[in-house]
Structure 1
């Protein structure tokens, strides 16, 4: 069973679109892919959440959402306020193992950052990655401030002896400023891990067929694509 845990350095950095792109890239190679969202917050009953967006963009992908809480808060807080049962790491592991028995790859998309609490005991996505012995893909912002949050996430992973698969820019601007251009070269050093892609800003608004056709061009070979970090960095300087 192959599993990748997808986290971010914070909220709104592009985790869902990156997850969809990775799913699309591996589907293009003929692999079966499933996506698990342990906890969706801030979405009402009946509304499409992150899993639906990954399925819409990624194509023939199986999506599973384990819990949904109405308020846009950390999962543990949202569950407490809604008087609902929180999602525990063991719940996620069980779901992933079931899906892994029938799929080549399972992607686990977290909520917020690596250490956002899932339950009242303080469990986090890092605990999920540890139990699954799965590598973690970190989605980062492009601009000023991203080196600090990237380094902090990398330190948290290292302290827990978790494998960082690499980092990927979740929303690369059409007109990158000086900080964004310089960050391309500095991100691997801050992360202590390779830069594995840059998804263009607004990619999620593409028609699904266009998204799937282009996804591999945004991702490095390790994520099923053809993107080259060195060439991309040199081109935007």
Structure 2
């Protein structure tokens, strides 16, 4: 009996370290991830969980209206359903990253299964756009102990702020105010262009679009460049004269 209890305790400890422990450690210490850019007057808007047949095209038009670029962390299975939307995202100059092949927590994947579904998502994006993806973001920000090793050479992008736009009860003006509070140099802001995942409200992206319109049209937003993550992290600094 004691042996069984010890075995069970060791298994639970291993699972905790593999899932929650790894997530807490990586997110607190920033090991192997990007949470903020260093560029002045630049903000990276990022969108998870898409593409969505209604909201993503509207979002693309809104971003184009305000001359803003963004980064889309795409679910591979959805990309195979809406490849034309993924192509449009790329053609409009936005960055594309992977948000797993299915929207499932990395806590639930064994190392083998995680790597297999990750590679499928990479292959999907490459086949649709003609270019391999360079960026990765785990659903719900959940890591397991091998996530960062398995995703290499992809760069893992987290966030400076996540305003909570997946709930329909967050009204556009409230969400716009949250975005204004996070309007800072090098900010990486996470929003969502689909509400079909677990815990999200299906119509919540409609509020996100309205809030973004308010935020991007705001006078103070004119002081910033809204760029994709590639520009934020890799564009060379302008040399001073």
Shorter-chain TM-score category? 0.3 to 0.5
Structure ranking higher on relative contact order (CA contacts 8 Å, 6+ apart): 2
Q: Please tell me whether Structure 1 or Structure 2 has the larger radius of gyration of its CA atoms.
A: 2
* TM-score, with length taken from structure 2: 0.35
Higher percent of residues as helix: 2
Higher percent of residues as strand: 1
* TM-score, with length taken from structure 1: 0.36
